[in-house]
Amino acid sequence: MTCLMGIDIGTSGTKTILIDENGKVFASVTEEYPLSTPKPNWAEQDPADWWNATVTSIKKVLKISKVKAAEIKGIGLSGQMHGSVFLDKKYNVLRPCILWCDQRTEKECAWITDTIGKSRMIELTSNPALTGFTAGKVIWVRNNEPQVYEKIHKILLPKDYIRFKLTGEFATEVSDASGTSFFDVKNRKWSDEVLEKLKVDKSFMPDCYESPEVSGKISESTAKLTGLEKGTPVVGGGGDQAAQAVGTGIVGKGVISSTIGTSGVVFAYSDGPNTDPLGRLHTFCHAVPGKWHQMGVMLCAGGSLQWFRNNFCSEEMLAAKKKKIDPYQLIIDQAKNIAPGSEGLVFLPYLTGERTPYPDPNARGVFFGLSIRHKKAHLIRSILEGVSFGLTDSLEIIRELKVPINEVRASGGGARSTFWRQMQADIFGCELVTVNVSEGAAFGVALLAGVGSKVFKNVQEACDKTIKITNHLSPDKANIETYKKYYGVYRDMYALLKEEFKKLN
């Protein structure tokens, strides 16, 4: 039997899956870990937690699946993007990893932009210097923790730290490297000009591969620790969004994805490195060799509903526990009885700042239009609508750039709800489909492992063989017109509040 393993180092936990060459999932295990917020707008994690979760999940997957380690032909790695793991010469972690949603680097990003030039930065890296990206974190450590910076030997992204622990190799791949602000996205290599102007030693950067390329092999110590076979190839893998795209078949023209996890992402495949001249969308290398993608990211999509659940839905969480169902099911069900537009209540989902189309760490969440008539169900529906409006911001820019849109595929936790998917179809004004795969990024990198280990000829063949459309939802024409009006109010709100957000901070 031929099997492939995918490991996704996420923000809330690490997921490890095992599939066969037809895409059948033999086992899927997620091990959770905490996120630390030592100060407002800060977000950190201990890389040791990722490693412990990886080891534990691999062991559990092997036990549940009863698959022999020798039958695993390749392993793929995915993970949360933009994080910064600093290692010294003895390979010790020097400080907690600063995460993608951390907003402390506003001053550093302004300095990067001034040093290189705004237009030149976009020309070199295809993106502006943003607070979530890795470069700002590196400069922040240099400015604020010089005792750490002077000991740096390597800087790794989250999944690439796990790669090092698995294989002993310092490596990354093009899709994840694209989100560092150190990477020449057009030419798929580290940017010497950016590194030199920022005075960051190029030796800090790991070797960079295409996503399906073999980047290392399971070491003897890892084999003993996990039960994997020594020498099993580990491919480059992908940043979580590029990997998610492979895992849902976004590997050709005209197919767009809308993903609602903690963050929200609209993702479009591209044959070339087409850059938004205003820097509103990200342009990154795709996990498909020689291809690129445009991507709009909102920082707190499903995270907004999670925030509401954790703080205002204790009754639903208790009831769900007794019924042994997902508490989100009980929460979202309440919104079904509220009319589109939430009776004049509009939610801005900027709880952790925002990225697309407003790269603003000062932005904050807002319920606008509250009246004495509004109840809990209205707030829930307005959150679902606000997140969908935020995704529409990215979709509209993609349309503006003349990217063809033949189909939008919904994925992530938000895709589990038919009600929320229908809402997205109505707000987007286009058909929404789902596929047979729900394992997302972990599934995508398992397929990339199959390409690297010659199980599949290429990424397209891997997707064609394993991914099928399972459901179509067409927009309700009456709701389209209603939502257009509310979306107009939503779009106006940021401009009206931008300076007030700044004052609050």
Active site amino acids: 240
CA distance 144 to 5: 39
Backbone angles phi, psi at 108, to 5 degrees: -65, -40
List % helix, strand, coil for the chain (3-state, nearest 5). Answer: 40, 20, 35
CA distance 252 to 270: 8
CB atoms closer than 10 angstroms to residue 399: 15
Q: What is the DSSP string of 163-216?
A: HHHHHS--EEEHHHHTTSSSEETTTTEE-HHHHHHHT--GGGSPEEE-TTSEEE
Of 140, 169, 137, 172, nearest in space to 158 by CA:
172
CA distance 174 to 291: 10
Burial class from Cβ neighbours inside 10 Å (0-12, 13-18, 19+) for residue 209 reads buried
Q: What angle do CA 184, 187, 189 make, to 5 degrees?
A: 55
Helices 477-504 and 376-400: angle between axes, nearest 10 degrees: 90
How far CA 196 is from CA of 186, 190, 199, 204, 424, in Å, comes to 18, 11, 5, 12, 44
CA distance 8 to 26: 16
- 3-class DSSP state of 354: strand
Residue carrying the six token digits 């030199």: 196
DSSP state of 96: P
Contact 260, 413 (CB under 8 A): yes
Of 298, 267, 299, nearest in space to 283 by CA:
267
